[in-house]
Amino acid sequence: VATEEPLNPIKQDIKKGKLRYIANIFPHKGYIWNYGALPQTWEDPNHTDNVTGCCGDNDPIDVCEIGSKICSSGEIVQVKVLGVLGLVDEGETDWKIIAISADDPEAQKIHIDDVKKHKPGYLEATIDWFRLYKVPDDKPENHFAFNGEFKDKDFAVEIIKSTHEHWKALLHKKADGGTINCTNVLVSGSPFCCSEEDARSIVQSVRIF
């Protein structure tokens, strides 16, 4: 999600002028879940999280969807929230919501406490993946709040509510978003709100290669 560009398009990430790719963390190939973000949330870099003691990472809250279907980039998926993992990534709070697609065959019966039963090894692999995924880029291992314990749905929902409030403050210019582009078409009362016609012009002005 290119947060610094108008309407925040989804595009290839760039770090230090180069295309960013995720290293394979043996024995895994790339991401081990459907990895996305929860709309209308923001981890405020000026807000110190009471749990982690670190400020937010200036992005929407991340979601690891653990269902059986491989989703497409940009696909909108309704999910059932299962729990949350508190990652501390390079000194920043980076919550990871664990969820499953609402239409997944296992969605009704699965909760965070029994993921280990229905998907043995998946949560342990998730911890290892997030701990190590930046090591190939010569960065240190990541750390976790609660010693890597997954918190339950109620805890996760409170994190979601908190980051949604921060997002609302951002869209109403009550919080400093720095270089984040808040142009939108749907948030009533937001000083960044534009017409659908203006939004269409923004999209059409982007050169497609």
For 49-68, how does the pLDDT look when each residue is reduced to its tens digit (9 = 90+)? 998 999 999 999 999 999 99
Give pTM, 2 decimals: 0.93
pLDDT score of 15: 83
pLDDT score of 14: 86
For residues 110 and 86, what is the distance between their CA atoms, to the nearest angstrom?
A: 21
Task: Classify domain 14-172 by CATH number.
Answer: 3.90.80.10
**Does residue 43 have a pLDDT over 90?**
yes
Q: Is 3 in contact with 180 (CB distance < 8 Å)?
A: yes
Q: What are the residue ranges spanned by the domains of the chain?
A: 14-172
pLDDT score of 207: 67
Radius of gyration of the chain (CA): 18
pLDDT score of 209: 59
**Does residue 208 have a pLDDT over 80?**
no
Share of the chain above pLDDT 90, in %: 89
pLDDT digits 0-9 by tens, 146-188: 999 999 999 999 999 999 999 999 999 999 999 999 999 999 9
Average pLDDT, the chain: 94
Do strands 62-65 and 34-37 pair parallel, antiparallel, or not at all (unpaired)?
antiparallel
